[in-house]
Amino acid sequence: MTQTAHGVEFNQQLSATPKSAEERAAILANPGFGNFFTDHTAIVDYSVDENGDGGWHHPRVEAYGPISLDPSAAVLHYGQEIFEGLKAYRHADGSIWTFRPEANAARLNKSARRLALPELPAEYFLGAIRELVATDKEWVPAGDGEALYLRPFMIATEAFLGVRAAREVSFRVIASPAGNYFGGELKPVSIWISREYARAGRGGTGAAKCGGNYAASLIAQQEAEANGCKQVLFLDQFNDNAIEELGGMNVFFVMKDGSLATPALTGTILEGVTRSSVIQVAKDMGRDVSERKITLDEWRDGVASGEITEVFACGTAAVITPIGVLKDATEFIGSEDAKAGETTMAIREQLLGIQTGTVPDTHGWLTRLA
């Protein structure tokens, strides 16, 4: 069976053993984050022909399952891999929408350029998402704060050990029902300051969404968890300990005058889709937003003086999460008894309202999937 999405025909090879309604309901009752996956995956292949011309082909939806790779596949040896993250939301009328997918498609291609992977035409990116969600629409949860998390990714599949860009690549999308990222009631989280490790360096891959960046952050994340913290904060130790980002989220500061500030994009910070959306939502609410250098000293002194009244993190998975305490072996900034700030919650509610259809989408950010 062939379906057409965004002008691209996707062949359907549906699973012979999808989860039953009862099995699916049991999963959706407590999905967690990234623990369960839907019945299908969307795939598009890329290859270079004997004339050196490359192209995308064979778009399809097939049963979710293991990927067969040659042991010499380039992704396994040189890490030529990128990914994205976005969500599908079920609105009150039962329709299913996603938020700013064109921005994710553009960022995927920015990452592809940095990792020497082929750029993916937007119609394939959007078509794959639409086709997968339409096929597995019963997996989209309807609970408060819940969504279907979508993970598009691109891997180099060519079997060879030479150090060059791969000539065979696979783009795929998988989907996972998701609850609250940090679980339970929304409370300010504790953040660990990474003094020893860096997430990225100038001229590196910090602005790309690639697995290597996250792999490099995991040891710092383990250190954070060992010290009772939910996330880790990375600094630029060669630039006055300038704030960069958390392991998987951007950071915002609410100032005493009601304005917001966030670290400027310097090439070592990922340009989050949620980050840019928060900036626009804050401006819509009449607040000034500055993108600039913010140091650890400013964070410490601002909290002590009252100049900084709230701090929050943002990203696709958690949307917006208030930060209560920033600490390491010698530092303790903030309060463990902190409550979620009014500005933080107002922006969070506005953004979630747009995503879930309870607040008007004045920017045309939503795309209907099913």
Using one digit for the tens of pLDDT, what is the confidence trace for 111-132?
Answer: 999 999 999 999 999 999 999 9
% of residues, the chain, pLDDT over 70: 97
Please tell me the distance from the alpha carbon of residue 221 to that of residue 229, in angstroms, as a whole number.
9
pLDDT category of residue 7 using cuts at 50, 70 and 90: confident
Residue 54 CA: distances (Å) to CA of 119, 135, 141, 157, 167: 10, 29, 39, 14, 8
pTM as predicted: 0.95
Which string of b and e fits 215-228 if b means at least 16 CB within 10 Å? ebbeebbebbeeee
* Residue position matching structure tokens 């409550």: 339
> CB–CB of 4/61 below 8 Å?
no
* Residue position matching structure tokens 């995927």: 108
Please report the pLDDT score of residue 37 as a whole number.
98
Please compute the mean of the pLDDT values over residues 29-43 and round it to a whole number.
Answer: 96
Please report the pLDDT score of residue 185 as a whole number.
63
- Structure confidence by residue, pLDDT tens digits, 153-191: 999 999 999 999 999 999 999 999 998 765 556 789 999
Burial class (CB in 10 A: 0-12, 13-18, 19+), 150: buried
Please compute the mean of the pLDDT values over residues 330-356 and round it to a whole number.
Answer: 93
Which amino acid is residue 195, in one-letter code?
Answer: R
Please compute the mean of the pLDDT values over residues 263-268 and round it to a whole number.
Answer: 94
Please tell me the distance from the alpha carbon of residue 338 to that of residue 344, in angstroms, as a whole number.
13
Please tell me the distance from the alpha carbon of residue 41 to that of residue 59, in angstroms, as a whole number.
11
Tokens of 60: 């399809």
Please report the pLDDT score of residue 181 as a whole number.
64
Mean pLDDT of the chain: 95
Tokens of 152: 């598009």
Please tell me the distance from the alpha carbon of residue 259 to that of residue 256, in angstroms, as a whole number.
7
Tokens of 75: 């992704």
Residue 344 CA: distances (Å) to CA of 8, 46, 230, 282, 319: 40, 43, 18, 10, 11
> CB–CB of 325/338 below 8 Å?
yes
